[in-house]
Structure 1
Amino acid sequence: MSRLLYGAHVAANAVRLHYLRYGGQGHPLVLIPGITSPAITWGFVAEKLAQYFDVYVLDVRGRGLSSSGDHLQYDTETCVQDILDFVEQLGLQEYYLVGHSMGARFAIRCASKQAKGLKKIVLIDPPVSGPQHRAYPSQLPWYVDSIEQSIQGMDAEEMKKFCPTWTLEQRQLRAEWLHTCYLPAIVKAFNDFHEVDIHQYIPDIAVPTLLMVAGKGGVIQAEDIQEIQALNANISVSHVENAGHMIPWDDEQGFYQAFEDFLGRHIV
């Protein structure tokens, strides 16, 4: 039986933000997906987390059913303000923020702003690219080509070219929803991976933080962990050794185990 309660929209930061709510009981947890992941693609994770938390999965602007179009801004600061306003509109007094990839970078910035009510953050394999840092390992054409093809229409078999290790179900869902990722929003986010120095905000994180590292992702290396912990010694680290960057897609059980008891519950 699904733990999805409903999908809804709120007006926040002068845009419409869509979200999916799962569970409805426990400590509120806001999940921010990555660069080309509409909220629904994280549904299988939200179903599990909803056994323990009141889960809200956000469609970042320019993705899914949230506002999109060339009249909007898609920079990091704007998207971070979306999250802060979103939480305020929902009336969440205390919450955890869990971000994957791009969403993890947003979580870092939210925490550095001493966001009201934010109690803990989980950073799932955040890109550590930026000025004076090596490039993000994925290439922009991978995103552009797949999105352009999805706009024309594509099926799970065609998606295999872009996501060869994914299951049929995973590829079907991505093929169905990828067209909702507005290409200029994706390009801006990708460019921000390289132009925004996310490291400058790490020392200002005051809430407990867990950095979850994909063993096969190539995004975070040992030297990156050392740098991050040198900037903020209160950041703890867990590893999912057999997973690539899309950790729960590659090793779902390992992903849940990597939370350990950081959020006060063992996810099994």
Structure 2
Amino acid sequence: MKKVVSGLFLVIVFIAAAVFGVIHFFPEKVVEVCANSERGKAGLRFKSIAVGELTYAYLEGGTGEPLVLVHGFGANKDNWTRVAEYLAPHFKVIALDLAGYGESTINFDLDYTITAQADRLHEFVDALDLKSFHLGGSSMGGAISGTYGSKHQDRVLSLWLIAPGNVLSSEESELGLLLKEGKNPLITQNAEEYKSLIAFVFEKTPHIPSPILGVFMREAFANKALNDKVFAEIVKEKLSLEDLLAGLAIPTLVLWGDHDRVLHVSGAGILCKAMVNASCVIMKNTGHLPMIERPEEAARSFLRFHHF
């Protein structure tokens, strides 16, 4: 019996050592495997499409009416994989990498304003031949989605705005105060700043093994120059989402975390007051990215909105 227990112990130690070795020496591969695993769990498949001179990478899966999902600043299509698991039984989910992000074309010379990205989104959905669809976006992606809805009301069946950017009349957020001090926690250039960013966008900071965290850091640092440009262009544009959406009748769910430090939760009430057919849901104990931090609860809110 002792030999059996000893043998099992050695097997467990060997497996643990092997897993540690893979994570430590091949973190990029581990990130890829984990991403593919989450995509598979949600029933999403990787696809790409050429639109003019740009190539868009996107994830697609599920059944039902199309639901196009737009990520935020410094993010990518995989921000939606966790929430897509709950949405895919009811919608055909399409989560794209915007131009300049993820695996889509990255061109430093493009215009990255909210308006320009909304126009490119129109080209993307046209290329997919989507005549009508639901549209959701997080943060910057929420501002892009709202802008698109204001320009193409006949195409959008509903809007899902998750802590959208550019609600200019909202109360000052912690990010806003830091920007006035010349600090931008959303753009990082060292490990300490990146770890602070993770804590800044989540209410409950997720545990990320150091080697995998290193992969995310290297990607962020490599994109710093482009992120600086994008952020500056968005600020300079001064687009007011509440003005664009004033009187808009598209059925809209505005979802916000009550502990959002990036964009003040007061923006939710402003948008719901400005729009004709909007509902607000404030998620408790949640930060800036509800669809990642509390994916099932975020999905349930959207599904209830659509009476599923």
Task: Flag whether TM exceeds 0.5 (same fold).
Answer: yes
Q: Contact 1:32–1:104 (CA<8 Å) still a contact in 2?
A: yes
1:18 aligns with 2:57: yes
Aligned-pair CA distance for 1:48: 2.8
With 48-57 and 161-170 compared, the bigger mean Cα shift is at: 161-170
TM-score computed with the length of structure 2 as normaliser: 0.72
Other structure's SS at 2:302 match? coil
1:125 aligns with 2:163: yes
Other structure's SS at 1:37 match? coil
1:184 aligns with 2:226: yes
Query: Aligned AA for 1:87?
Result: V
> Of the candidates 295, 299, 305, which is equivalent to residue 256 of structure 1?
299
Identity of aligned residues (%): 22
Aligned-pair CA distance for 1:28: 0.8
Other structure's SS at 2:58 match? strand
Provide structure 2 residue ranges, at least 5 long, that are not aligned to the other structure: 1-39, 200-204
With 177-186 and 76-85 compared, the bigger mean Cα shift is at: 177-186
TM-score computed with the length of structure 1 as normaliser: 0.81
Q: Distance in 1 between matches of 2:280 and 2:215?
A: 30
Q: Contact 1:31–1:97 (CA<8 Å) still a contact in 2?
A: yes
CA separation of 1:215/1:181 partners in 2, compared to 1, >3 Å: closer, same or farther? Answer: same
| Residue matched to 1:211 | 254
1:162 aligns with 2:197: yes
Q: Distance in 2 between matches of 1:251 and 1:110?
A: 26
CA separation of 1:260/1:6 partners in 2, compared to 1, >3 Å: closer, same or farther? Answer: closer
| Residue matched to 1:86 | 124
Q: What root-mean-square deviation, in Å, do the aligned CA atoms of Structure 1 and Structure 2 show? A: 2.9
Q: Distance in 2 between matches of 1:104 and 1:133?
A: 15
Q: Distance in 1 between matches of 2:218 and 2:92?
A: 26
Q: Distance in 2 between matches of 1:71 and 1:41?
A: 25
Q: Contact 1:63–1:180 (CA<8 Å) still a contact in 2?
A: no
Q: Contact 1:136–1:193 (CA<8 Å) still a contact in 2?
A: no
Q: Distance in 1 between matches of 2:247 and 2:155?
A: 16
Aligned-pair CA distance for 1:60: 1.0
Aligned-pair CA distance for 1:173: 7.2
With 65-74 and 28-37 compared, the bigger mean Cα shift is at: 65-74
Q: Distance in 2 between matches of 1:191 and 1:136?
A: 20
Q: Distance in 1 between matches of 2:43 and 2:296?
A: 20
Q: Contact 1:62–1:185 (CA<8 Å) still a contact in 2?
A: no
1:27 aligns with 2:62: no
Other structure's SS at 1:256 match? helix
| Residue matched to 1:137 | 174
Q: Which has the larger share of helix?
A: 2
Provide structure 1 residue ranges, at least 5 long, that are not aligned to the other structure: none
Aligned-pair CA distance for 1:29: 0.6
Aligned-pair CA distance for 1:162: 2.8
Q: Distance in 2 between matches of 1:3 and 1:247?
A: 17
Query: Which protein shows a greater Rg?
Result: 2
Q: Contact 1:166–1:249 (CA<8 Å) still a contact in 2?
A: no
With 40-49 and 200-209 compared, the bigger mean Cα shift is at: 40-49
